[in-house]
Amino acid sequence: MKQLIAVIVAGLAAYLGYKFEPQLRFTLTGIPYGVGHNLADAPILDIDPSTLRPDQLPKEVTIFANVPFRDSSTGLTVDVPAGSKHRLVRIEGVDLVIEVRGTSYRITIPISKTDLMQQLSQMSISPPEPPPAEEPIKSPEPVEKAEPAEKKEAPSGIAETAPPSVESTPVDPLKVMRENLQSGKIKEFNVDQVVNWNQGGTETIDGETYDTASVSYETDTILGRKTMQAKALIRNGTVEKWIWAKSGIEIK
């Protein structure tokens, strides 16, 4: 009797693991989690995921197949396993950009290889409202030309002087960048990880001109200890945003 109860308990545990734990399912059956999952299996929604706001999207998605990932600096290739969950960064057309869990690496994967559509089908999402109709442009009313005011002469013996110019205080990009890191506003890394500080110059990015400074910092990844480079874009004495020095992608 005890042996029968043990067999029943073991069978129930195996079924629950198969049903609710994708990675254990592969261990039990040898069948990858992604088999049978494709875009045709996903719920049909009237909403294009790429039109949704970030707050309308799930924070994480589960991938349906092993995704090979190659580190360009070392040439090492590893598999991101099927059934694992990763942070959803953004949607690009029919693809997702995800951040590999526990790293700062980002990879692109088709929506059909994730459970995004299944998650959206269980969320209450309203379709985006159409933009308001543009009002017809009215012709400007004619403006009467004002008569030029008479120039008043200064009293004799008194010379007219222009107000003194005020020079703006020069900005130290390295100081601004260090203070921004110490404030903890960026979560990707902290000031204690920095191994090198670099003075930048003036750069124009996406039509905007910034003062720049950059840092090199060390972090642990799935490929081991690596050195990463980040750049601060500074304007009006404050860091407006951080970007990866090589790709130019914004760091949140």
3-class DSSP state of 23: helix
Burial of 114 (0-12, 13-18, 19+ CB in 10 A): buried
User: Model-level pTM?
Assistant: 0.37
**What is the pLDDT tens value at each position of the chain, 252 positions in all?**
666 666 565 555 555 554 545 444 444 444 444 444 444 455 566 778 888 888 889 999 999 988 887 766 677 777 889 999 999 999 998 899 999 998 888 999 999 899 999 998 888 766 556 666 666 666 666 666 666 666 555 555 545 555 544 445 677 888 988 888 888 888 888 888 888 988 888 889 888 899 999 989 898 888 788 888 899 899 988 988 888 888 888 887
Q: Which pLDDT value is given to residue 77? A: 79
- β-sheet bridge partners, residue 67: 80
Contact 250, 241 (CB under 8 A): yes
Distance CA 194, CA 171 (A): 21
Say if residues 188 and 104 touch (Cβ distance below 8 Å): yes
Exposed/middle/buried for residue 232 (C-beta within 10 Å: 0-12, 13-18, 19+): buried
Question: Within 13 Å and on the Cβ side, how many CA atoms surround 24?
Answer: 9
Q: 148 Cβ partners below 8 Å, 6+ apart?
A: none
Would you say domain 36-121 falls under CATH 2.30.30?
yes
CB 15 within 8 A of CB 48: no
The structural domains of the chain, with segments of one domain joined by +, span 1-31, 36-121, 173-251
Round to the nearest angstrom and report the end-to-end CA distance of the chain: 59
